[in-house]
């Protein structure tokens, strides 16, 4: 079993409305998303993915479709943050992603995990498992959403 990780970056705005300090203000980050998958290495001489768990470009394609494309240059706003939501709605065509929970690194990492896990499973079945989604909000701050162990899943 091998784990592989694909890193991607995107820019997005957010705010944490209840934050005691600066983060209650509208601001943005260059987020870094790391997607870690677990699987067996293909031993298929002559095939493009020989020696790979999954071609990194295939991880990129799914991540782009599900997360990076929709979130890049969007404003990530919590559904309860009505002041900002109304403001964003007043701008026709604004790229806005409405989240159920406040868009902290923790909640965004979990949201990305919850979107990506079924997307990889639908495409690759049980052959691959999404092990971890790590989301850097800044170079110094990140959160990890990690696959629950089997015993925690029931
Ligand atoms: N546990 C969390 N704490 C904080 C979050 C979060 O998502 N989860 N978010 C923020 C702010 O949104 C901001 O992104 C972080 O700001 P800051 O702590 O200032 O991070 P920096 O890397 O810029 O800090 P330096 O001190 O400049 O290194 C706050 N907390
Ligand atoms: Zn922030």
pLDDT above 90 as % of the chain: 92
Number of domains within the chain: 1
Q: How confident is the model at residue 150 (pLDDT cuts 50, 70, 90)?
A: low
**Active-site residue, 23 included:** yes
Ligand 1 pocket, residue 104 CB under 6 Å: yes
Q: What is the CATH number of the domain that holds 38?
A: 3.30.479.10
Asked if 147 and 129 touch (Cβ cutoff 8 Å), the reply is: yes
Cα(11)–Cα(119) distance, rounded to whole angstroms? 22
Structure confidence by residue, pLDDT tens digits, 47-97: 999 999 999 999 999 999 999 999 999 999 999 999 999 999 999 999 999
**Active-site residue, 137 included:** yes
Question: Does the pTM of the predicted model rise above 0.90?
Answer: yes
Q: For a pocket test of ligand 1, which of 140, 141, 142, 144 has the largest count of ligand atoms closer than 8 A to its C-beta? A: 141
DSSP 33-100: EEEEEEEPPP--TTSTTTT-SS-HHHHHHHHIIIIIHHHTTEEEEETT-HHHHHHHHTSTT--EEEES
Spot the catalytic one: 27, 73, 127, 141.
73
Where in the sequence is the domain holding 34, given as residue range(s)? 2-153
């Amino acid at each position: 079993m091998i784990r592989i990780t694909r890193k991607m970056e995107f820019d997005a705005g957010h705010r944490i409305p209840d934050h005691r300090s600066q983060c209650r203000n509208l601001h943005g980050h260059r987020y870094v998303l790391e997607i870690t998958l677990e699987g067996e290495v293909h031993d298929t001489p002559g095939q493009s993915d020989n020696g790979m768990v999954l071609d990194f470009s295939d991880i990129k394609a799914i991540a782009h479709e599900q997360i990076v494309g929709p979130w890049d240059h969007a404003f990530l706003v919590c559904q309860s943050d009505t002041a900002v939501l109304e403001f964003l709605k007043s701008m026709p065509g604004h790229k806005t992603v409405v989240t159920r929970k406040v868009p902290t690194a923790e909640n965004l990492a979990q949201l990305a995990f919850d979107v990506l896990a079924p997307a990889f499973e639908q495409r690759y079945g049980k052959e691959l498992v999404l092990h971890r989604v790590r989301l850097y909000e800044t170079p110094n701050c990140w959160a990890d959403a990690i696959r629950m162990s089997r015993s925690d899943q029931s």
